A and B are shown apart, each in its own frame.
Chain A
Amino acid sequence: MTQNEINWPAALRATDSGEQAAAVRALREQLQNGLRIALNGRSDVSEAHLEDFAQESLLRVLDRLDQFQGRSKFTTWAQAIALNVAFTELRRKRWQDVSLDALMADGERMTEPAMIADDVLGADEDRTRLVATLRHAIENDLTPKQRAAILGELREMPFDQIVELLGTSRSAAYKMLHDARRALKQRLHEAGITGADIQNAFNL
C-alpha cells in the first residue's frame, strides 16, 4: 500500500498499537520531508528545527484529527497545519523583542502628517485626496490599539505576535483589525471613494 492509499485517520486511530505507531512514524516522516522542501535554503532552519517542527506538527494534527472533513487529501491538510506550526515559530523568534509600548507609540505617530507624506502615492489629485482622507480616518476613526495593530501588520509583524502584544485572543484581535479596515473603508466610501475605485484606480 502506498502512502497515498493509506486511510490516515483510521490508521492514526487504530486500536492495534503497532499499526498506530507505524502510521504516526510515517506521518511524522512525511511532514518533516515536506517541511524540508518548503524551508529549503533558509539559514535560520537546521535539521534539528525540522525535527522539532515535525514533532510539534504531529501532535497538533493528532489533536485536530476530528476536524479533518475529507475535502482534501489528508496529507495536504496535515502539511498545511505543519507549515502553520513552523512559520508561526520562525516569525515568533524574529519578533520576540518588540514591545507593545514601542508599537503603540509608532501607531500614534501614524496620525502625524509627516508619517504619511501627501504625495506618497504620487502627486495625482485623486491619490492626494485619498491619502488625506485616509490620514484623517486613521486619526479620528481608529483606537490607539487599532492603529498599533495596523502598523504591526504593515511591518509584517506576525499575527500571533500582534495578538500577544495586544493581550487579547486571536479572534478578538482579528475582529479589531477587521473593524478598523471596515471603518477606514466606510470613511473613504463617504468621501466618494469606493472599493472598486480603489482597486481600479489605485492598483498598486
Chain B
Amino acid sequence: MKPEDQRLTREQVGSIVKMLGLTTDREFNCGECLQHVSEFAEFQLASKPVGEVISKVEQHLALCPECREEYEALMKILKAGQ
C-alpha cells in the first residue's frame, strides 16, 4: 500500500469524531443490541416511540456499521412481509 493510501480520509476522521460525539459511559455492545434489535425493528416498522432500553439500540446502531447493516437487512425482510 502506498503511503498516501494509508492516510486517514476525511470520511474516516469524520467517523472518529462522530463516534466520539455519540459515545456515552453506558451503552449496548453488539450482543445486547442483537438481543433487542427485533423489538426495535418492529417498533420502527409500526412508527411507535421506543422506550429507554431499546433507545440504546438506536444509539448502538449509529455507532456500529455491522449491526446497522444487519438491522437494515432485517427491516428489508419485515417490509417484504407486510
Contacts and interface: CB of A to CB of B under 8 A. Distances in A.
* Secondary structure call for the B interface: helix
Contacts, number: 123
B70 A87 contact: yes
Interface residues of B, number: 43
Interface string A7-37: 0000000000000000000000000001001
Interface residues of A, number: 49
Interface string B9-21: 1111111111111
Interface string A95-115: 000000000001001100011
A81 B25 CA distance: 27
A140 to B, nearest CB: 15
A43 interface: no
Interface of A: 34, 37-39, 67, 71-73, 76-77, 79-81, 83-84, 87, 91, 106, 109-110, 114-117, 120-121, 130-131, 134, 150, 154, 156, 158-159, 170-171, 174, 178, 181-182, 184-185, 188, 195-196, 198-199, 202, 204
